[in-house]
Structure 1
């Protein structure tokens, strides 16, 4: 070694791994509406007939949320439809209002997610000024 630090590891093709994960999902789990075509959906979800709605989201975030819902089901945990839809609604509103948010759920830390949720609730009915 010449005393220099080795370069950081990165994927060989610089392709985001979420796209490989999405390709591995069964087609009925890819969205934009998840639920109607899935056998035993009522047993997989915590919210019976509720559906996960990923329309209008950036492709990366929609893929991440679809993968997380499927992973919960495979893990034996009921898929969190209401929580997933709440996040999707917050992000759709942020897009409409041009409110900034990270380009990926994986890039969003707890503080960023909490700030985004606070902004959503503080501004959604127009009763409070933006934070």
Structure 2
């Protein structure tokens, strides 16, 4: 019994030495991507969750202030900020940018085609969908 247990732990140790482990740079880059994506998602949901309309800026040109809301401004800045941030932290940042920009692109297209802010696109929308 003791010999089998000892062999079991030796096998685990042998397999552990065969496994490739990520380098610290990869772990740091991937962690930053996850934290950044989570922060972007939190900010997006905070802006639009349960709101009938996004806050609007006021100005003299009614057409411009109807189109450009604070939420839309955030979505417009993200495609510029994401490549800058990821290019400094990851080797394969181009692929990560494409994947990260898909939700931003969808939200911008929905925003522009709907003629105004996307309403109900957040946790409140998910709650009404599943409950």
TM-score w.r.t. structure 2 length?
0.28
Higher helix share: 2
| Larger-gyration structure (1/2) | 2
Which structure ranks higher in relative contact order (CA pairs < 8 Å, sequence separation ≥ 6)? 2
